[in-house]
Amino acid sequence: MANKSMLPALSMRPGWPFGRLADWSSEFENFFDDFARRRSLLPSDGVQEFNPSIDIAETGDAIDMTAELPGCDPKDVEISVTGQTVTIRGEKKAESERKDKNWHMVERSYGAFSRSIPLGFNVDPAKVDATYDKGVLKVHVMKPPEAKNETKKITIKS
């Protein structure tokens, strides 16, 4: 029997949980890219970089963004609108008592962050609302009428 790899054959089997091998390989690479984005592999001063996760959802008339900002004070967070982009920036400040202890492990992240989200339509700053509760920032952006995905019925004339 020829010395051939079994992986391509296995990836074509019906019901194989990861689908085609190429798709699985791409997902595997995306996992590590996402991990590296969230956690600096070479943290400065023993503290990992803080890069909040953001969920973005769309309804017919709005875009909703939810950012996890545990340990951030809302007065250290700023939301700005420029053209078609919403930017969330701020800082998660480290505890001042860190230097007085003999630390064995530090996994929490601190530092300044900035995330810009392009929306594909001009944002009216007057139609952006933000709330902060229990470490979760919610930003609600109303779409302008021309950006709404409304279905309109057309009457056929005879």
CATH topology of domain 52-144: Immunoglobulin-like (2.60.40)
| Percent above pLDDT 70 for the chain | 59
Domains of the chain, by residue range, sit at: 52-144
How distant, in Å, are the alpha carbons of 93, 100, 110 from that of 96? 9, 9, 12
Nearest to 46 by CA among 1, 96, 108, 115: 108
For residue 62, the model assigns a pLDDT of 92
Q: Cβ(64)–Cβ(139) under 8 Å? A: yes
What does the DSSP assignment read for 29-72?
A: HHHHHHHHHHS-SS-GGG-EEP---EEEEE-SSEEEEEEE-TT-
The model's pTM: 0.60
Q: How confident is the model at residue 27 (pLDDT cuts 50, 70, 90)?
A: low
Over the stretch 67-114, which tens digit does the pLDDT of each residue have? 999 888 899 899 999 999 999 999 887 765 556 677 677 666 778 889
- How confident is the prediction for the chain on average, in pLDDT? 75
What does the block give as tokens for 16? Answer: 């194989």
Spatial distance between the Cα atoms of 117 and 140, rounded to a whole number of angstroms? 13
Range 22-47 average pLDDT: 55
For residue 98, the model assigns a pLDDT of 56
